Structure 1
Amino acid sequence: MGVRLRALQLLVASVLPLLGLSVRAKVGDVSWSYETGAEIFGSAAVASDGSVFFGSRSGNVYALNSDGSEKWIVSTGDWVDSSPALSKDESVVYAGSWDNKLYALATDSGAVLWTFTAGSLITASPALDDEGNLYFGSSDGFFYSVDSTGELRWFYFVGAELDSSPAVSEDGHVYVGAYDGNLYSFTGDGELRWTFAAREPVEDNDSRIAGPIAIGENGEIYFGSADGYCYAVTPEGELDWEFDTLEKVDTGVVIGNNGELILASRSGTVYALDRFGVPIWESFVGDVFFSTPAVDSKGRVYLGSYVGNGVSSLNVLEDGGDLVWDHLVVDYIDSPPVIDHLGRVIYGCYDGALYVIEADAEPALSSWHRYGGGRENRSLKEPYEVSVLSARFGEWIGELGLEGVFADPCFDAEEDGYPLALEYLVGGDPAEFDRVGLTSGVERIEGVDRLWLEHDRVLGDSEVSFVLEYSVEWGEWEDLMGLEGIGQELVNADLLGDGWYERVRLVLPTGLPAATLFRLRMACD
């Protein structure tokens, strides 16, 4: 993940992250769009440099720069409904086509590095393991694995169409759904471990598992089925729980900030479930087909639905299910949206366009917050990489017993406006809704009222520096310690009685303008 909290600041009564200011379109506005001339079914994959890769029923795979300018176009022999997946080093992008081939394309030039031919069309997105091996199914009823050079490693005849995009667990096990209503588990070497059968279909003789498979924090496998149920299955292939959605489920299941599960069914309802399968909330948005939701860091849910009269909507729902905003188009949206690292949501439409919408959002703090797990669409369950604020922060996290997303410096479990990084730096309690940090008051010294500022700070962290600054009417910020006549004293050398924090007071000189503002800035080296 990398460190995202590099500097933090506290004003007397509020917490303000240090953010660069830029001019952007308003939330919900189209930043740019790109016309392909044919329907877009799959999701886009986004590289770390902002490049966007996607396919279209024009028969092409497209690579665009982050500003929407064309990078390259590669023609296949038929529709490209498969969502492209990026290699770990982002040098290769993989996509299947209705011409029965899986393509490996160089991300910089679009050069065809190799192709692998199956017995029928490939609509599923390939999953990759840590070694770069690929796993994918075909409508020919075979499940395939090839290595990073395109050489066949193994295959297994399921006997039913395989449109479901597989998922690979941390321990290298592979999970994929089929049109026979079974979830299959393989070892990375192609040995069948077990099968799990969904319920018998109620109508239409339709028992398919068509949506992508997701893997939870503890290895649970989540998927929906045309039998109208969402399932949670253990890594050993046993049913953990099932949830009745009343209609077919063709979307994938995604995981929110606090482990909640988000999915949608053909009933037009978006569901949020807890990890035990108990409903948290539900919201009706219209007909939902294959648009697997995406969840952002504020718990908002993004997905496409058909609302009627030829119009579809990209819906943005608040945590709780209320509509925040939407983007309307004339045609269907089956494309699962992706939130990129520039704060935009990207999705394709049957009108032939890829849309990039300003969303002012970041992906949820979970390992499977959207189709394919991450923006690369690799469908690989990887350990949640905690940002390293400092070595001392790691010790603090260890003492609290926090792991994964709950140990991320940006995580704010009690939603008091203080992420873990700030709780650590100024002695807050991450389990309590508290207000800590920079406080102020007045003290009479030698007959003169003097303003003082107090702040709490962590001890013994050489990677963190604390600087008190002042500004006159939001002008330039300057170091407060540079003022003549300022005094500093230690109020408490062991604030919490655990040797971790101290409290410092600065007594300000007289003569400062009434409009002077103060902040405590903390930088992590």
Structure 2
Amino acid sequence: MTRRTLISLLSLLLLQGCAAEPAEPQEICYECIADAVLQALGDAAPGSGNVTFPDATGSDVGPDDDSGAGDVSASDAAPTDAAGDATSGQDAPTSSPDIPGVDPLSVTLQLAEGETYSAYLEIQPQVSGGAIISGVEFKLNGVALHTDLIAPYSYTINTAEFGDGEHVISAETADSEGQWATASVNVIFDNTPPEFASLTPIEAAPIFYEDGPLHMEAISDDVNPLSEVKFFANGLPQGEFDEAPYVADIEWEDIFVYYEDLTDAGKEIYLSFQATDKLGLETSVDYNVSVYKRNAWTFETLGDIWASPEVLPNGNIVVGNWQEKLYCVTPAGEQVWQYGVFGDVNFKAVYDPGSDRIIVGDSASQVYGVTTSGGLAWQTSVGGPVGGEPTVQGGKAYIGTYSGDLIALNPSNGSIHWQASICNNLSSNPAVAQDETVYVGCQDSKLYAVNNGSVQWSKETGKEIWGSPSVGPTGTVYFGSNDGWLYAQNADGSDAWVTEIGGAIWGTPYIGLDGNIYVGSTSKYVTKLDAITGEIIWETKTQGLTYSSPRQGSDGTVYIGTSGGQIWALDDETGDVKWNNVVGDTIHGSVLIHNDVLYTGSVDRNVYALKLAP
């Protein structure tokens, strides 16, 4: 039946009256009218919904059957804006144009915009004005659910039948004069307990005592705001919050965890994260985590340690110090041997698998080939204090001196292949390309490219170069300067890019597992850059000068030591601090990572081993 037919029928009934005796003259029996309408529609039962209502454009819209109920989402038939997003009816016309002599028809919903509802929701629209009201049709997300023909109009939605999230509830009505009106409101259905998007620490995660207080944090992605969040550790309340952020840092002694009680097996603690949303729905997530000692051991020497440690094939660790000693210790921190040299060992001793020799230089102008059992294989005088760690590649060991010489040695016997005077003061670890071009930085502010003892080209910077270069897989050379800039040179000496880092760059740019560049500086920042463009990806400030070079663990975590005596662990994607640990005094050398253990030396004369995993 069309709207026009329905209006004609209603008008006829009004003119003729009804079979029932009216209580008073001129009183309209709406029940009789409704019965007559239903009979004309085919003896449909009241509430069947077989009434035609105009849509927001004024055209007739046919009745819906029961298929309109069920899992209705806002994308099914909801009005949309220009971007295709669901909108409420408030963005479209809400009633037909006024008709002279007839009260304007309107409908309102007694629901709060953006409110959250659960379980059964009774909708009671208020209809005012108009002539003879045809009824009210109820819609969810544009899909008809029910039509009520008799006032007071109402319909109850079981919100649990529809998905949690945003929905649009609409009420539409029409009268005998052809007027129509609609009202819509955006609401949220929530019938599930609150959910946590993430919890810290995660279940079964190892926690290390020395990294600081126990950090508990919860992030919620529930559709409904949380009214209360509580933290418990070992059954003791540790935090209560009525709004985000939900974060608590808990001192170990507050939950009766003490360093001296920790063993290699760790100590379990019980955590509970509890949340209640504004509807009173509750959730609790409970699990155990274990606390361990991060410091595995400390090995004491009698001299400052500026050099980086090196690992031998059997897992033993070698490191030199300012006491004119080279030490070898087991992975458990027990001394295997020590070898005495003639000067301080300022730089890393490097193991060469080709010759099975440990190659190390000292401040007394000597380079040594030491056996893995601690004996001397050879010794060569190089004419000046060694200015960096040796680099072994292609059967040659390259090393520079503070007197400005670059030397290529035979790692098996220490004989010199060639020796070239490059500058007045060479303080750099040589970087060697596949074509045996050697790159070194000098304190005359230049980077030099040397092949077979002959300088091929040089690149001048704004200040002295104390750091060392690195060579990328495509031959690009990366190096820093005391002028605070990081440079990238093509293999032919042309500029690739240059980026300002800030501070002096004394370490070596590290080429990460993802191919990007990581570098530290005396600005206290660790910086990640795109290797192709030089664009800074992230910067993280530490609490000390970073003299050394970053290193990565197998999971990508970036580690670096600082002048504050701390080891910093950074997320390689974001630069966020995972943890930091004070181990001693200033750390000059780069850390060594082997078998989930981090090794570092300090000017406090100690070698430290830190666990990266239990």
Scaled to the shorter chain, the TM-score interval is 0.5 to 0.7
2:419 is paired with a residue whose SS is strand
Q: Percent identity?
A: 26
Which of the residues 301, 312, 316 maps onto 1:36? 301
Paired residue type of 2:390: P
Q: Which residue of 2 aligns with 1:428?
A: none
Q: Deviations over 1:261-313 (max 9, x none)?
A: 10011111110111111011101003324221112233321111234xxxx21
Of the candidates 295, 309, 315, which is equivalent to residue 568 of structure 2? 315
Output the CA distance in 2 between the equivalents of 1:287 and 1:77. 32
Deviations 1:76-134 (A, max 9, x none): 12210120111124721011101110111011x21111111122211410111222x11
Task: Report the AA paired with residue 96 of structure 1.
Answer: G
C-alpha change, 1:71 and 1:173, in structure 2 (3 Å) is same
Q: Who is 2:371 aligned against?
A: 106
Matched residue, 1:346: 599
Q: In structure 2, what is the equivalent of residue 152 of structure 1? A: 416
Q: Read off the aligned partner of 1:322 and give its amino acid letter.
A: D
User: Aligned to 2:489, which of 233, 245, 248?
Assistant: 233
Is 1:284 the counterpart of 2:541 in the alignment? yes
Structure 2 residue runs without a partner (length 5+): 1-263, 267-290
Correspondence for 1:326 among 572, 580, 587: 580
Within a 5 Å distance, the mapping from 1:365-384 to structure 2 comes to none
What is the SS of the residue equivalent to 1:114? strand
Q: CA RMSD in A?
A: 1.9
The match for 2:349 among 84, 105, 121 is 84
Matches within 5 A, 1:239-318: 239-275=495-531, 276-307=533-564, 312-318=565-571
Q: Distance in 2 between matches of 1:83 and 1:68?
A: 18
TM superposition shift of 1:234: 0.9
CA distance in 2, matches of 1:50, 1:212: 27
Question: In 1, distance between residues paired with 2:298 and 2:510?
Answer: 26
Deviations 1:357-407 (A, max 9, x none): 10139xxxxxxxxxxxxxxxxxxxxxxxxxxxxxxxxxxxxxxxxxxxxxx
Q: Deviations over 1:46-78 (max 9, x none)?
A: 123211111101110111222222121011122
- Mapped partners of 2:472, 2:460: distance in 1: 20
- 1:139 corresponds to which letter in structure 2? Y
Instruction: Give the distance between the partners of 2:473 and 2:534, measured in 1 at CA.
Output: 15
Matches of 1:231 and 1:264, distance apart in 2: 14
Please give the alpha-carbon distance, in whole angstroms, between the structure 1 residues aligned to 2:387 and 2:300. 21
Asked if structure 2 preserves the Cα contact closer than 8 Å seen for 1:213 and 1:252, the reply is yes
Provide, for residues 132-170 of structure 1, a one-character-per-residue CA deviation record: whole Å limited to 9, x for no partner: x11111111111112121112111112321121011112
Amino acid corresponding to residue 305 of structure 1 in structure 2: T
Tell me how far apart the structure 1 counterparts of residues 541 and 354 of structure 2 sit (CA, whole Å).
40
Q: Secondary structure in 1 aligned to 2:377?
A: strand
Contact 1:122 1:137 in 2 (8 A): yes
1:194 corresponds to which residue?
A: 457
Q: Once the 2 structures are TM-superposed, how far is the Cα of residue 24 of structure 1 from its aligned partner?
A: 6.6
Give, as a single letter, the amino acid of the residue that structure 2 aligns with 1:296: G
Answering whether residue 351 of structure 2 is matched by residue 97 of structure 1, we say no
1:214 and 2:479 are equivalent in the alignment:
no
3-state SS of the aligned residue for 1:267?
coil
Over 3 Å counting, the alpha-carbon distance change for 1:31 and 1:101 in structure 2 is: same
Cα distance 1:244–1:154, how it changes in 2: closer, same or farther (>3 A)?
Answer: same
User: Residue 336 of structure 1 contacts residue 347 of structure 1 at CA under 8 Å; is this kept in 2?
Assistant: yes
- What is the match of residue 47 of structure 1? 312
| Structure 1 length-normalised TM | 0.59
Residue type of the partner of 2:401? Answer: S
Alpha-carbon separation, structure 2, partners of 1:242 and 1:58 = 40
In structure 2, C-alpha distance between the alignment counterparts of 1:24 and 1:169, rounded to whole Å: 46
Residue 223 (1) aligns with residue 486 (2): no
Corresponding residue SS for 1:156: strand
The 8 Å contact of residues 31 and 358 in structure 1, kept in 2 or not, is answered as yes
2:439 matched residue in structure 1: 175
Aligned partner of residue 582 in structure 2, secondary structure: strand
> Could you tell me which of 398, 409, 431 is aligned with 1:135?
398
- When residues 284 and 227 of structure 1 are mapped into structure 2, their CA distance, relative to the original with a 3 A threshold, is same
DSSP 3-state at the match of 2:322 = coil
Amino acid at match of 2:392: L
Question: Equivalent residue for 2:589?
Answer: 335
SS of equivalent to 1:306: coil
Residue 28 of structure 1 deviates from its aligned partner by 6.5
Q: Tell me the matched-pair count.
A: 325
1:226 and 1:162 mapped to 2: Cα distance? 14
Matched residue type, 2:473: E
The letter of the residue matching 1:80 is: V
Q: What does 1:483-522 correspond to in 2, within 5 Å?
A: none
- TM-score by length of structure 2 reads 0.51
> How many Å separate the matches in 1 of 2:265 and 2:427?
38
CA distance in structure 2 between the aligned counterparts of 1:82 and 1:232, rounded to whole angstroms: 25
Contact 2:525 2:546 survives alignment (8 Å): no
Counterpart contact for 1:28–1:325, Cα < 8 Å: no
Q: Give the whole-Å Cα distance in 2 for the aligned partners of 1:321 and 1:24.
A: 31
Which range is displaced more, 268-277 or 140-149?
140-149
Are the aligned partners of 1:211 and 1:250 in contact in 2 as well (CA < 8 Å)?
yes
Q: Secondary structure at the match of 1:334?
A: coil
The Cα offsets for residues 236-261 of structure 1, whole Å up to 9 and x where unpaired, read as 11110011012211111112222121
Q: How far did 1:27 drift?
A: 6.7
Q: 2:306 & 2:326 partners in 1: Cα distance?
A: 12
Which letter does structure 1 place at the counterpart of 2:520? A
8 A Cα contact 1:27 1:358, kept in partner: no
